[in-house]
Amino acid sequence: MCGRYELLDGQRVFVRFAVSNTGTIQPRLLDNLDVRPTQPVPVLTTDRILSLMTWGITPMWSKASAPAKPLINARAEGIETKPSFRKLLPTQRCIIPASAFFEWQRAKGAKVKYRIGRRDRDMFGFAGLYATTPTTDGGEVQTCTIITTTPNELVAPIHDRMPVILLPEDEDRWLDPDLTEPDEITPFLVPYPTELLEAIPAA
C-alpha cells in the first residue's frame, strides 16, 4: 500500500505538471514532509486543473450511521471490475504530485522507514482516481485514492506493494478524457522502472 508520501518544493507543481487552472488551490502550495490519509492534497485532473481533494475515497457501501474506512489505495489488479472503482476508472482519473513515498521494512523485530523517490530528485505523479462524495450536511467533497501495483526490484525487499508512478510521457494519456476503455487504461498500471528510483533509510 501507500500510506505516506511527501511533497517538497510544492510551487514546482505548477510548472512540472503544466497546470492550466488552479481550481480550489491557492496561489501557494506549502511543502509537506508527511502527507497522511484524510488530509487535503493537490490533485491534477483533465485539462490540467489542480484542486485540493481529501485523500481517501468513501466506499459506496458506507453508511452515515456506520461510516466505512476511507479507501486510500486501489489495487490495480482487477480495478476495472471492483464496485468502488470501476465507474471511476473510465472518466475520473487523476495525477497526485509527490516527491517521494515512504514504506516500512520489517527487520529483526523492528521497522525501518525508507524514503523512495527518483534518483534525480525530480517530482513525479501517482496514478489516482477521484470521486465526489456527499457529506452529512448535504454538501459534497472531492476525494481521491492512489492506485497501487506489484513492487519493482527495488521496493520488493521493503514492501509487497508500491504506488503506480506514471512516466512523464504517459501523463497526458492518463488524463485524456477520450481514453475510456479498460484495455487502454490498465497498461499504465505497472511498476515504475527500478533504475529510476532510490530507497534511502529515513529518520
Q: Is pLDDT at 8 greater than 60 in this prediction?
A: yes
Q: Which of the listed ranges 55-59, 137-141, 183-187, 199-203 does the model predict with the highest average pLDDT?
A: 183-187
Q: What is the model's pLDDT at position 140?
A: 83
Distances (CA, A) of 106 to 37, 72, 98, 116, 142: 22, 22, 24, 16, 34
Instruction: Considering the candidates 2, 94, 144, 171, report the single residue annotated as catalytic.
Output: 2
Q: What is the model's pLDDT at position 138?
A: 75
Question: 57: Cβ–Cβ under 8 A, 6 or more apart, which residues?
Answer: 70, 71, 74, 84, 88, 129, 130, 131, 133, 143, 144, 145
Which domain, by its residues, includes 45?
5-201
Instruction: Considering the candidates 94, 103, 144, 171, report the single residue annotated as catalytic.
Output: 103
Terminal Cα distance for the chain, rounded: 20
Residue 70 sits in a domain of what CATH number?
3.90.1680.10
Q: What is the model's pLDDT at position 106?
A: 84
CB atoms within 10 A of CB 60: 13
Q: Is pLDDT at 66 greater than 60 in this prediction?
A: no
pLDDT, tens only, 145-202:
999 999 999 999 999 999 999 999 999 999 999 999 999 999 999 999 999 999 999 9
Cα–Cα distance measured from residue 41 to residue 166, given in angstroms and rounded to the nearest whole number = 18
Is residue 181 flagged as an active site residue? no
Strand partners, 165: 126
Count of the separate structural domains present in the chain: 1
pTM for the model: 0.93
pLDDT, tens only, 74-114:
999 999 999 999 999 999 999 999 999 999 998 777 889 99
Cα–Cα distance measured from residue 51 to residue 164, given in angstroms and rounded to the nearest whole number = 20
Cβ(102)–Cβ(113) below 8 Å:
yes
Is residue 169 flagged as an active site residue? no
Q: Is pLDDT at 64 greater than 60 in this prediction?
A: no
Q: What is the model's pLDDT at position 96?
A: 97
